[in-house]
Structure 1
Amino acid sequence: MIFVGGSVVDPSETRSSPSQAGDLLMALWEHPVLVSSSHSFKAIPERKFSVSEQAGSEGSSQSKCVYVFQREYATVDPELVDLVGTDEATTCVGIVIRNRKSGMISVAHMDSPTVVDGGLTQMLSLVHNHGFDAELDVHLIGGFDDSSPKQASHKTRSKRQEKWDGYSLPLCIKIIDALWRSRENFHIQTLCVLGHNTRRDSEGNGYPIFNGFLAETSTGRILPASFDRTTRCPEEIVRRIRVSVSYEDPSWDGRLLETYDTRTDQFKIAPCTWTMRQLHIAMTLQHLSDSEILQTCSTSPSAEAPDFLDNIRRCWDYLIHRPDWRETFPMKQPRVFKRTAGGWARCTQGSSINHPARVDYLVN
């Protein structure tokens, strides 16, 4: 069930059949309370999260942050974590679910309608009360209007909207549909998606206004944010590779990637495998031009961040130099990282969790 401004949203009041999730999305997108919240969110200066903030300045405590990559999720305890966030979203949508009573927060970076139902179940597993009586605040940020300029100029009614091209709209529709069908009470606080998160150039091409956000666990406050490479930790490259290879791994069908252990405040990166076919793809694509890589590997070639190409090339380089996945995941065991004063420390299999075998200080 969905609430806005304290009132339940009745799909029968939308312009079409209650079963049409696209109309429900449009009703929410046009809701005065959510329009106002989008304007307020966009008025907040973007916070650029850096190593200095992660590590803390002299005389101040460090901010304990959990970063979520594409297709990942993390549920955090406010007693253990200060901030949780994600970025690099263009056609993807970031979703925040916070339990008003316990303060537990789950953040996901959803990239496909196929992971919404299963992903929502994963997120709720540690957030809701088992009696299904929790009051849950929800924030949706990302998924800009990636329809073509010609189609974008005719965006007025929801029936037309269902015919537009693009990746963002189907994902947003699926998320709203899943929230509505759930037994939980979801209070949507922010819906900065699609047109609310779009700027256009002189030719009508759309770009996201914001690609990421941070959630402050103590207050539940959400603000626009971006991260640099050194704060997308731990194990940046391996986690990026997991996103790509998981599409061919049936064990991850319909699920978000697990990375973070809520109870221990550790990253436990579940193993993944890559094949000779995926290695061959990496070796082939590395020779393409920048424009060819964008057209081949991105759902929004003109809207990617400046470091997109470097990030994807570093992943290919990793695969080419480590063709055997067992070198990364010996005995198919997860890679475990414990938080330290300077970042994250990796604990090898069999070592004491208090005596990590190797330390990765922020930079992977």
Structure 2
Amino acid sequence: MIFVDGVPISTDPSSQGSNALAALMEHSTLVSVSNSLKAIPERKFSVNEESSQERSKKSKWVYVFQREYATVDPALVDFVGTDEATTCVGLVIRNKQNGMASVAHMDSPNIVDMGLSQMLSLVVGQNLDAYLEVHLVGGFEDVSPNYANSRTRSKRSAKLEGYSYPLCAKIVESMCIRQEKFHIRTFFVLGHNTRRDSKGNAYPIFNGLAVETSTGSVTPSCFDRTSRCPDEIVRRIRVTASYEDPSWNGKLLETYDTQTDQYRIAPCHWTLSQKHMALSRQNFRDSEILLICSTSPSAEGPDFVNNLRRQDEFLIKHPDWRETFPMNQPRVFERADDGGWKKC
């Protein structure tokens, strides 16, 4: 069930989440929160800047890549967050009673149902009456809202609804039909998270968020390469490889161990076809890579192509996944004294 200001949001089960989505987008409280969020400057996470180094001695954070999730204990972690979301959505679920918080970087409607169960397994446990604070940041109007909101659209025109709208609708639909009580605090998605240039082209306002675990406050955030640790390239490759790996069908990628404050990056199997694609992309121009590999080519960050080229270099050098995950075991990293990570 979904609540705003303690009042349940009613929905028609046959609407596939569209009625509840529209109600949330128009809710006066959530509109006010969205307007306030736009005035908040992004928090920047970096371990290279001197100020960030000083902060890192005091603060510990966990970073979540696309299709990953992490559930953190406030006694062990100060911040948990994600960024690089264009058509994806950063989802936060926090148990107000014990402070346990889970963050996921949702990239497809296909992983929402099982992904919610994964997120809630440690946040809620057996207490279905837990007060769950929920925040959504990400997704934008990657197509005209007239297509997304049309109930009479044909199957052919449905392809024009983009990526953000179906994902947001699925998240809302799944929360509506679950027994847990989801109290929506932030709903900064779709039209609320859209800015347009002078030519009318749409872009997301914010691409990421971070949760302060002690208070539950959520702020727009961005992370640089030094703060998206550990094992950045392997984790990026897992995102693509997971679509060909049946063991990950419908699941969020397991990354972080809540109890031990360790990254335990579960194995993922990639095939030789990914090496062949990496080799072929070496001949592509940056503009071609954007068009082929992104759901929102005009809205990607400046390092999108470079990140993909670094992944390709790794795949060409290490085409056998068993070299990266010997004995099909996870890659384990523990927290270092400076707040960073070191491989066990």
Deviation readout 1:309-353 (Å, 9 max, x if unpaired): 100000000000112222211111110000012311101xxxxxx
Alignment partners' CA distance in 2, 1:123 and 1:90:
21
Structure 2 counterpart of 1:111, from 107, 111, 130: 107
Matched, 1:167 2:163: yes
Structure 2 counterpart of 1:280, from 267, 276, 280: 276
Judge conservation of contact 2:265–2:331 (CA < 8 Å) in 1.
Answer: yes
Judge conservation of contact 1:55–1:63 (CA < 8 Å) in 2.
Answer: no
For normalisation by structure 1, the TM-score amounts to: 0.89
Deviates more, 1:62-71 or 1:124-133: 124-133
Change (3 A) 1:255 1:156: closer
State the shift of 1:43 in Å. 1.3
Identity %: 63
Amino acid at match of 2:42: E
Aligned to 1:344: 341
Deviates more, 1:94-103 or 1:334-343: 334-343
RMSD: 1.9
Deviates more, 1:274-283 or 1:158-167: 158-167
Matched, 1:270 2:266: yes
Deviation readout 1:61-108 (Å, 9 max, x if unpaired): 431000000000000000000000000000000100000100000000
State the shift of 1:19 in Å. 3.5
Aligned to 2:3: 3
Alignment partners' CA distance in 1, 2:110 and 2:75:
32
Matched, 1:188 2:193: no
Alignment partners' CA distance in 1, 2:315 and 2:268:
12
Judge conservation of contact 2:96–2:132 (CA < 8 Å) in 1.
Answer: yes
Matched, 1:57 2:54: yes
Judge conservation of contact 1:18–1:24 (CA < 8 Å) in 2.
Answer: no
Alignment partners' CA distance in 2, 1:270 and 1:294:
28
Aligned residue runs from structure 1 range 77-96, under 5 A = 77-96=73-92
Aligned residue runs from structure 1 range 131-142, under 5 A = 131-142=127-138
State the shift of 1:57 in Å. 1.4
DSSP-derived class of the 1:11 partner: coil
Judge conservation of contact 2:74–2:99 (CA < 8 Å) in 1.
Answer: yes
Aligned residue runs from structure 1 range 174-323, under 5 A = 174-323=170-319
More helix by share: 2
Alignment partners' CA distance in 2, 1:253 and 1:62:
38
Matched, 1:97 2:69: no
Aligned to 1:71: 67
Judge conservation of contact 1:37–1:190 (CA < 8 Å) in 2.
Answer: yes
Structure 1: state its 5+ residue gaps. Answer: 348-364
Alignment partners' CA distance in 2, 1:155 and 1:33:
26
DSSP-derived class of the 1:126 partner: helix
DSSP-derived class of the 2:128 partner: coil
For normalisation by structure 2, the TM-score amounts to: 0.94
Amino acid at match of 1:40: S
Aligned residue runs from structure 1 range 24-35, under 5 A = 24-35=20-31
Deviation readout 1:88-134 (Å, 9 max, x if unpaired): 00000010000010000000000000000000000000001403110
Alignment partners' CA distance in 2, 1:155 and 1:247:
28
Change (3 A) 1:133 1:50: same
Judge conservation of contact 2:45–2:52 (CA < 8 Å) in 1.
Answer: no
Alignment partners' CA distance in 2, 1:251 and 1:109:
19
